[in-house]
Amino acid sequence: MNNKERADEYFRENKSKIKDIDRPVYHFTPDIGWMNDPNGFSYFDGEYHLFYQYNPYDIKWGPMHWGHAKSKDFVDWERLPVALAPDDEIKGQCFSGTAIVEGDKHTLIYTLHNDDKEEQAVAIGDGTEYKCISNEAAIKTEDLPEGFSGVDFRDPKIWKEDDIYYCIVSAKNDEGLGTILLFESKDLLEWKYVGILFENDGKYGKMWECPDFFMLGKKYVLVISVMEMKAKKRKYFNGHQVIYFVGDYDKKSHKFIPDTKGKTLDFGFDYYAPQSLYADGRTLSVAWLHDWGNDLTPEGAKWCGQMTYPREIILNGKNIYQMPAKELESDYKNRYSTSFTLNKNEKYVDEDLNSRVARFDFDITNVDANKLTIFFAADDDYNSFIKINMKKRTAKFSRRFSYLSKDAMDERKIDIDICDGKLSLCVLIDRYSIEIFINNGKQVLTSRIYTPLDANEIRFLADGKVDINVCKNEIE
């Protein structure tokens, strides 16, 4: 029995130990074990495929496999056999990577991780079974330019253009800074180093991970997951975070030329390693709804790790806007809409709004208030809230009272736009997460919560008059 078969057997024997009530409704999770980065997000043979970093044997990071699932609506997922497993064909753990589709060929490229180096390997499959095209790595440490050792050389992003395969890979240079290297190949077997697509000038953390590079509208976007970032006002925050650059790609010099400084893609506590997918005229993105710096998993849990609900992303000027993918609408039920006016220091609760698994859309018009607070997953003991300061034009998200049992980052404040007293909020709440989209997704905050499921109220409080229209769609 090889490692793929062993992982699948363990999964079959243990998945029934977890009840559906103990996992999210519409955010993807592993059926058992640990999951981190999304991998190989792609549209193949009429369905969306999602691979992911996977340790089936524990709820902690461990021997990295590629788990695999497919879906048509991002809610109902069919779990498929493990796609890649450590040591089965080429020695090493199977770290993150991406996929491309060519007819009936589904090609995966991923990092082969050993203790002393990382290299890139290629596997090809039919949507269920995948096999490496060689018994050795395709992009080797010997292909690296001077100044790079093969330590922290990972997370390939592949695409094809004019019959040539291109691949960018993150690498740490001899100054300890992240660099995006570009390689090319005609056959997926032999790869040639082309040059540096883009490099860290020291302003954006240290090591860069999980690069994504794609066209959005008429511009190119480079998305990077940053390690050891330092906070700067409310633009960036400390630790792991995701930033993006918008610019142009000079195909002759193979250089990415940004028009903007790095911008934060998601301001929440739990968002990392996003991957994009272009399909059906849209660019979609999914990310790991988790953070390396905070272990919040409750004792006794049998799974760890969830994904954001996929988002459609567009470029508005030089800013990325993100909103939930339209597929979610097919799972709506129990629609409820209402309008009301909050008065000064009035606490407002509408029982028909209460839910722990729903999408809420708010249109807010300020009359004479300075602050508005909306509480989610609330009862008399617990809540998570967003507080809007109308005068200062800020939003603060807090999960301080969301039943956390460990010390963790629990509040974050960002600058927002409020034009003529108006703003919009779209909020996705699931059993163990909350995603807040501000002003049609110009800013997003994504975070885990572990509040008891019977805390399901939506409460409102303002220090002046505010008009609110809200629509709730529960999700089944």
- In one-letter notation, the amino acid at residue 180 is I
DSSP letter at 62?
A: -
What is d(CA 52, CA 30) in angstroms, rounded to the nearest whole number? 9
DSSP letter at 144?
A: S
> Could you tell me the two tokens for 58?
């524990």
Instruction: Say if residues 459 and 282 touch (Cβ distance below 8 Å).
Output: no
Q: Beta strands 371-378 and 457-462: pairing type?
A: antiparallel
> Could you tell me the two tokens for 376?
């989610």
Beta strands in 87-149 (DSSP E): 93-102, 105-113, 118-125, 130-132
Q: Mark whether 37 is an active-site residue.
A: yes
The enclosing H or E element of 378 equals: strand 371-378
DSSP letter at 145?
A: P
DSSP letter at 454?
A: T
The enclosing H or E element of 285 equals: strand 282-288
What is d(CA 108, CA 132) in angstroms, rounded to the nearest whole number? 9
> Could you tell me the two tokens for 172?
């740490």
The enclosing H or E element of 36 equals: strand 33-44
CA atoms within 13 A on the CB side of 287: 32
CA distances from 275 to 72, 119, 202, 322, 377 (A): 18, 20, 24, 13, 29
The enclosing H or E element of 13 equals: helix 3-14
Q: Specify the 3-state DSSP secondary structure of 314.
A: strand
What is d(CA 49, CA 70) in angstroms, rounded to the nearest whole number? 4
Which residue in the list 37, 155, 291, 430 is annotated as catalytic?
Answer: 37
Which residues participate in catalysis according to the annotation? 37
